[in-house]
Amino acid sequence: GQQVMQIPQYQHVQEGEDFTTYCNSSTTLSNIQWYKQRPGGHPVFLIQLVKSGEVKKQKRLTFQFGEAKKNSSLHITATQTTDVGTYFCAGLGSSYKLIFGSGTRLLVRP
Amino acid sequence: GAVVSQHPSRVICKSGTSVKIECRSLDFQATTMFWYRQFPKQSLMLMATSNEGSKATYEQGVEKDKFLINHASLTLSTLTVASAHPEDSSFYICSARDSRGEQYFGPGTRLTVT
């Protein structure tokens, strides 16, 4: 079945440093979505990428979708303590089910 | 934006009892709803896909007789954990898909079975 892998599992950065999480799917995706989950909270939708090679930006966050529509990345420039949380990618495959990656937990030292 | 609610937000029950969790789309109709389970520090695992008016489709390894799903209307899906045991303790999250295919998540229900 469809699998979505995400690395790294966690990352601890100094405030102001950059952060990147990577997502790889075993199959070609219709789209990929990114979510942020704070401790004790539920996943909050960040963005959806649909087109091959698409790049979208939200302030300090840059999202990319690979040319083959099998991988994606989220890059945060100059992290802040408010960026703390777990970032999940979720791929929508041919079965129209959203399969979540394992998540990357981001910790930011002030 | 679209809102999905879940009730209850938190439930503690004794082993052997059944627990019902409701998922409602408040301002849109959802022909399809999804149920996920999340154990501590783990990802969301899709349990089942719930389609209005038909039987739910369960993912491999999910017991359909234990996790009973009913999608009686376009705005309501329920998950009943039958004869819950401590290993069923988890965070259960539903999501609802609108006509454009966008998916919105509920706030989750934390189940603790003692």
Q: B3-49 pLDDT, tens per residue?
A: 999 999 999 999 999 999 999 999 999 989 999 999 988 999 999 99
- Chain A residue at shortest CA distance from B6: A42
Residue A96 pLDDT more than 90?
Answer: no
Are B6 and B26 a contacting pair, CB within 8 Å? no
Q: Which of A7, A98, A104 to mutate to test the interface with B (most CBs of B within 10 A)?
A: A98
Q: What is the C-alpha to C-alpha distance for residues A98 and B71, in angstroms, rounded to an integer?
A: 19
What is the pLDDT, as a whole number, of residue A93? 81
Which range among A6-15, A20-29, A43-52, B95-104 shows the weakest confidence by mean pLDDT?
B95-104
In chain A, the largest separation of any two C-alpha atoms, in whole Å, equals 43
Mean pLDDT, all residues of chain A: 94
Residue B114 pLDDT more than 90?
Answer: yes
Residue B75 contacts A where some CB pair is shorter than 8 Å: no
pLDDT band at B51 (very low <50, low <70, confident <90, very high): confident
> Chain B contacts of A102, Cβ < 8 Å?
42-43
Please indicate whether residue A54 or residue B41 has the higher confidence score (pLDDT).
A54
Q: Which of B43, B45, B91, B97 to mutate to test the interface with A (most CBs of A within 10 A)?
A: B43
C-alpha distances (whole Å) from A35 to each of A2, A60, B43 are: 19, 15, 11
Nearest C-alpha of chain A: how many angstroms from B23? 14
Q: Output DSSP code: residue B60.
A: T
Mean pLDDT value of segment B50-58? 88
> Chain B contacts of A35, Cβ < 8 Å?
105
- Considering CB atoms only, which of B36, B43, B104 is closest to A103? B43
Q: Output DSSP code: residue B59.
A: P
Residue B84 contacts A where some CB pair is shorter than 8 Å: no
Residue A66 contacts B where some CB pair is shorter than 8 Å: no
